[in-house]
Amino acid sequence: MWITLAAAAGIGLGLLYGWVIDPLQVVDLTPDTLRADYRADYILMVAEAYQNEKDADSAARRLAIFGADPPAQIASFALQFGPSAGFSATELSAIEDLVAALQTYQPSSGDSSP
């Protein structure tokens, strides 16, 4: 009886220490772990840059940090999330332009694929 209670208390203490007091360190994360609003804002930055550069290749490379999905699909996330995040009409328009450009985008060379 006492041994069972002690073991249960030990497990509880272990969980407390491992989850609360000293959880696994979260550094050196990859961008796919970013919260949705940060991810959408990054896509907005890429869209704003695209407005200036008109370089779909650069935009696709920048979006590749989110993984191997097609860049248009990555960018379209911000279109879905943007309205609820308070993106302005100008910003949404910039993202739409980027998505449209990436939908017809073909990598100019092998090294530009995500």
Partner 1 sequence: MNERRLPLDIIGALILGAALGLFYAWTLAPVQIIDSAPAALRADFKNQYRAAIAASFASNHDLARAKARLALLADADSYAALSAQAQQMLAAGESFASVEQVADLASALRGPPPTNIASSESPTPISFEPVNSTQNVTSAPQETLPPFSTEIPLPLFSPTPRPTRTPVPAPGAPFALVSQESLCDESLPDGILQVMTINLDGRQLPGIELIVSWPGGEEHFFSGFKPELGNGYADFNMAPNIIYSLRAADGGAPIENLSAPSCTAANGESFFGGLHIVLKR
Measured from the CB of residue 103, what is the shortest distance to partner 1 in angstroms?
A: 21
Measured from the CB of residue 59, what is the shortest distance to partner 1 in angstroms?
A: 9
Q: Which is nearer to partner 1, 28 or 89 (CB)?
A: 28
Query: How many CB atoms lie under 10 A from the CB of residue 72?
Result: 18
Q: Which is nearer to partner 1, 42 or 72 (CB)?
A: 42
DSSP single-letter state for residue 111: G
Q: Which is nearer to partner 1, 52 or 106 (CB)?
A: 52
Rule CB under 8 A: which residues touch partner 1? 2-4, 6-19, 23-31, 33-38, 41-42, 44-46, 48-49, 51-53, 58, 62, 65, 88
- Cα-based distances in Å from 31 to 40, 43, 45, 66, 110: 11, 12, 14, 6, 23
Residues 6 or more apart whose CB falls under 8 angstroms from that of 44 comprise 78, 82, 87, 91, 94, 95
